[in-house]
Amino acid sequence: MLIYLRVLKESLFFAVSALVNNKLRTFLSLLGVTIGIFSIIAVLAAVDSLKSEIEGSISSLDNSTIFLARFSFGPSEIPLWKREQFPDVSFEEYKLLKDAVPNVKAASFTLNVAPTTVRYEDKTVSNVEVGAVTDGYYDIESLQLAHGRFFNEAESNSGTPVIVLGDEIAATLFDNSAYATGKKIRLYGMKFIVIGVLEKQGSPLFGNSKDTSIFIPSNVIRRIYGQNNRRVLPFIVIKPEKGIDNDEFIALLKQRLRIKRGIKADEGDNFFVNQLQGFADVIDDIISTLNLVGFFISFFSLLVGGFGIANIMFVSVKERTNLIGIQKSLGAKNKFILFQFLFEAVILALIGGVIGLVLVYFVSIIATSMAGDFEFILSVKNMIIGTGVSAVIGLISGILPAVSASKLDPVEAIRTGM
């Protein structure tokens, strides 16, 4: 055992000496590996960062959340002309499903309307996103309030002109968002009493930030726009209880809505049940594809770096043929020569990998500072992957030169070296 440790130690010493004594060659070899490792880790880190940002953007909604509407979130086999004839979901259908279907944790009748302008005294904010929802939306989105409260069921059903402001809207209209509650602001030609201000959220990757949004009871919008107005897009959002069978729950929802609409058994649905889980699955597929594409792009960079190491190692064997012959004539075993060149190749690759990781780290800091709310993540997993890939590349690139060096005949090696 001690003999093998000595062989490894001496092989490592010769490898390090060779790298130090040939600085230019070492630098050129490092360059290829560094670029390759930088590419693959940068791609993996970018994809991980994108995934984290996407998940953060939809994290407020549970994957089991269901959206009932006349439109589909994804592709549909139903012809467009037929889908255009589907009726909108109604407030009455929302109340039926909320009260008649078991295991509903929270439900909301939501209207998608155009942005509007909000005014308070001489201050105005334009292009404000309006969340026209019922009281259950607070639990569906797990909204967090910095001040005040959300509107209750009575205010929601009666369409009381109350409003909850996003952080940025409150900060723009009032000197201090804490003073917003109780104030009256104008929109849609009406006065609304501010009853709450949401906590600051920041800018998500997908969708609009709640910082620039307002929430009002959907029945206010129903009064303003009237019934069956195609400029208003309604949908019912339902969050089921945890631990239930989602397929059974969706089947029951469909059954109750079909009965309400008088749809016959041989007729298809005239509505769509969209589940957020489907959207999350699509995101996962996109992320997996990006990872795969990034891996193949980076693989070619690593391939170039590997060929560079192999080429330099063959040159190193050629230059040190005489030394190899002398070492073998003095009793050095084949394994000693093999380990010597393998260590040299692996050390080269590892140093290149470490430099690549350091570069990715600094680039991630710069990218995060320039991207604002987007955070570029360099995970420990990706760092381990980078280090492991470096070692493997060095091992593969150095194996052929190392084997050729270990099999040299000592007499021929000395003669060739002279």
Please report how the helices 91-100 and 218-225 are oriented relative to each other, as an axis angle in degrees rounded to 10. 150
Beta strand 162-165 with 190-198 is parallel
The structure tokens listed for 417 are 């070296």
pLDDT value at residue 367: 74
SS (H, E, C) the chain: CHHHHHHHHHHHHHHHHHHHHCHHHHHHHHHHHHHHHHHHHHHHHHHHHHHHHHHHHHCCCCCCCEEEECCCCCCCCCCHHHHCCCCCCCHHHHHHHHHHCCCEEEEEEEEECCCEEEEECCEEEEEEEEEEECCCHHHHCCCCEEEECCCCHHHHHHCCCEEEECHHHHHHHCCCHHHCCCCEEEECCEEEEEEEEECCCCCCCCCCCHHHEEEEEHHHHHHHHCCCCCCCEEEEEEEECCCCCHHHHHHHHHHHHHHHHCCCCCCCCCCEEEEHHHHHHHHHHHHHHHHHHHHHHHHHHHHHHHHHHHHHHHHHHHHCHHHHHHHHHCCCCHHHHHHHHHHHHHHHHHHHHHHHHHHHHHHHHHHHHHHCCCCCCCCHHHHHHHHHHHHHHHHHHHHHHHHHHHCCCHHHHHHHHC
77 is a domain residue? no
Residue 264 sits in the same domain as residue 287: no
| 403 Cα distance to chain centroid | 44
List b or e across 260-278, with b for residues whose CB sees 16 or more CB atoms inside 10 angstroms.
eeebeeeeeebbbbbbbee
Q: Is residue 74 part of a domain?
A: no
Q: Are residues 246 and 296 in the same domain?
A: no
Q: Is residue 251 situated within a structural domain?
A: yes
| pLDDT reported for residue 363 | 79
Please state, as a whole number, how many other Cβ atoms lie within 10 Å of the Cβ of residue 36. 28
Q: Which of 235, 270, 305 is the last residue of a domain?
A: 270
Please tell me the predicted confidence (pLDDT) of residue 5: 57
Mark whether 230 and 371 lie in a shared domain.
no
Domain boundary among 270, 300, 333: 270
Indicate whether 179 and 159 sit together in one domain. Answer: yes
Amino acid at 192: F
Choosing from 224, 239, 270, the residue where a domain stops is 270
User: Are 366 and 321 within one domain?
Assistant: yes
Give the per-residue pLDDT at 42.
77
Domain contains 201: yes
> In this structure, are 100 and 25 located in the same domain?
no
Asked, for residue 303, whether it belongs to a domain, the answer is: yes
Angle at 362 between CA 356 and CA 363, to 5 degrees: 85
Q: How far is it, in rounded angstroms, from Cα 220 to Cα 191?
A: 12
Q: Are residues 124 and 180 both part of a single domain? A: yes
Q: Clarify whether residues 224 and 103 are in a common domain.
A: yes
0.85 exceeded by pTM:
no
Work out the number of other CB atoms within 10 angstroms of the CB of residue 42: 23
Counting the structural domains of the chain, the total is: 2
Domain match, 107 and 222 both: yes
Q: In this predicted structure, what is the pLDDT of residue 9?
A: 59
Q: Are 164 and 193 in contact (CB under 8 A)?
A: no
- 69 assigned to some structural domain: no
Q: Which residue has the tokens 């407030």?
A: 91
Q: 279: which residues sit within 8 A by CB, 6+ positions away?
A: 58, 73, 74
Q: Is 82 within a domain?
A: no
Q: Are residues 10 and 147 in the same domain?
A: no
Residue 247 lies in a domain: yes
| Parent domain of 214 | 87-270
Rounded distance, CA 184 to CA 165, Å? 12
Residue type, 101: V
Residues 239 and 213 reside in one and the same domain = yes
Contacts of 40 (CB under 8 A, 6+ apart): 294, 295, 298, 299, 301, 302, 385, 386, 389
Chunk the chain into consecutive blocks of 10 residues (it has 418) and report each block's average pLDDT, rounded to whole numbers.
54 60 68 74 74 60 79 79 86 90 91 90 89 91 87 92 91 80 90 91 64 91 81 88 86 90 87 73 70 71 71 69 67 70 74 79 77 66 75 75 69 58
Are residues 107 and 227 both part of a single domain? yes
Q: C-alpha angle 250/217/200, rounded to 5°?
A: 90
Q: Which residues contact 24 (CB under 8 A, 6 or more apart)?
A: none
Task: Report CA-CA distances (Å) from 391 to 140, 161, 343, 400.
Answer: 48, 66, 10, 15
For residue 28, the Cα-to-chain-centroid distance in whole angstroms is 35
